[in-house]
Amino acid sequence: MTTLQKGDKAPDFSAKDQDGNLHTLADYKGKKLVVFFYPKANTPGCTAEACNLRDNFDRFQAGNYALLGVSADNAKAQVNFKNKFDFPFPLLADEDKSVIQAFGVWGPKKFMGKEYDGIHRTTFIIDENGIIEDVIKEVKTKAHAEQILG
């Protein structure tokens, strides 16, 4: 699993969002960036997490934060997820898992006794200079904004 830690330089990523717009780490220089990885659009835990971030979006903006959601879903699934819940932040459609691999959040998981590979729900807080400020591995889906903003 992820070996990235507080103080490390964030991976220089590049991926398209639900509308085909390209996002890179450099686009966010001068802002704090929250990159939250979630397993699958429109599932209960992922919906609770993203809605909690949406409901606190004003607090993030006030603190000079930008938010980026990332999963391996295709652009169509991300568009549907974003529109259904009116998310004010982009969702990256990382189908080739390049961003997911760069951040090291892909790996073995267990669910109902079955083992499989998937995305580990993890959030990275990156400072204005591209340095990782925090890594949240134990995400509380219904109170995630509080974990990030304190």
Active-site entry in 4, 10, 35, 46:
46
Respond yes or no: is residue 51 known to be catalytic. Answer: no
Are 28 and 20 a contacting pair, CB within 8 Å? no
Encoding tokens for residue 19? 């509308």
Encoding tokens for residue 1? 């699993």
Measured CA distances, 26 to 20, 29, 58, 73, 121 (Å): 17, 5, 23, 23, 24
Question: How many degrees, rounded to 5, is the angle at CA 138 between CA 119 and CA 143?
Answer: 105
Active-site amino acid positions: 46
